[in-house]
Amino acid sequence: MEKEIRRTIAYSEESYPPMPTKSTLFWRSCIIWQAWRWLVLNIKILKIVVGGHS
C-alpha cells in the first residue's frame, strides 16, 4: 500500500490561515474585554510570584 503524500502549493489558498470571524474580531478590539483579561493574567502572575517567595 502506497502512502499518499499531500503537498501544499506555496501561495495557494490552503497556505494562508483562516479568516477570523466577526465575533473574534469584536473580542480582539473590545477594550473592556482586553482590560479584564489583562487583570486576570496579572493576578495569575502575582500568585506565582508570591507563592515562590514563601
Distance, in Å, from the CA atom of 4 to the CA atom of 1, rounded to the nearest integer, reads 9
pLDDT at 20: 93
Distance, in Å, from the CA atom of 42 to the CA atom of 34, rounded to the nearest integer, reads 12
Under 8 Å CB-to-CB from 27, ≥6 apart: which residues? 33
- 6-51 pLDDT per residue, tens: 776 777 777 788 899 999 999 999 999 999 999 999 999 999 999 8
- Dihedral pair phi/psi, residue 49, rounded to 5°: -65, -45
Helix (H) or strand (E) holding 25: helix 22-29
